[in-house]
A = this chain, B = another copy of it.
């Protein structure tokens, strides 16, 4: 399917941009491969600095009709959803007529977990004749490779913690919650649900300072992996320099992410950051999906 999608890539590529630094990384990678790029920036969510680099339009979350018209006017058939999108606040949303007509679909999508929201939106666009593709298909070089990215490597104990973390994520994937855990000394110390990875890492900092956690500094691993059965076209786990910062602040030994199905934002900066902090960043084989 990846190969099929690749052969169908033609005309300008539309990136519907949420928050974070990933949209620019993906835009640059696609542009470097000779693809014309148009950005559709979600108001209140996308980084305004993105507007400096590529042709763009601002849209509110909920303006499905406007989005559709813009995509058609720009001649884009291939669409990538990229960047973070926590459930938007109502004041950051404007529902146009097209979106309102789709309300039953939207409400159904909202009622489930995040995956349902995204796949519901995806289906709406596909029914309109657009082709939803994954960021990794237009920019395969942003995928995490197997092995260590920087100078540090996980120890044998770290590898045990990584295996336990992957096992946990695999066991809970069907619940459609977060995609990350912190494991140290063969103990799951924190599980990400709705709070996001940054806040979960902050919890490790807090537990260290209130004495609840006595794992030595420099041990423990942040483990991230896609949910089993996750639609990889718009919700791959992503890491970047900020993830490394969070891992360092939490006093962990490093971070492990599923190779081939996680995205690395700003890899050069990430490696500099990891080497300075002496934490490892390692891509590990994705576990069997169960």
Contact = CB atoms under 8 A, between A and B. Distances in A.
Given A168-B172, A211-B89, A199 B203 contact: yes
How many copies the complex holds: the figure is 2
B177 A195 contact: no
A171 B168 CA distance: 9
A264 to B, nearest CB: 25
B168 A175 contact: yes
A112 interface: yes
23 contacts: A86-B212, A87-B214, A89-B214, A112-B187, A167-B175, A168-B172, A171-B171, A172-B172, A176-B187, A177-B187, A177-B191, A182-B193, A187-B194, A188-B193, A189-B193, A189-B194, A190-B195, A191-B192, A194-B212, A195-B203, A195-B206, A196-B212, A199-B206
Contacts of A206: 195, 199
Interface residues of A, number: 37
Given A194-B207, A199-B203, A207-B195, A188 B175 contact: yes
A278 interface: no
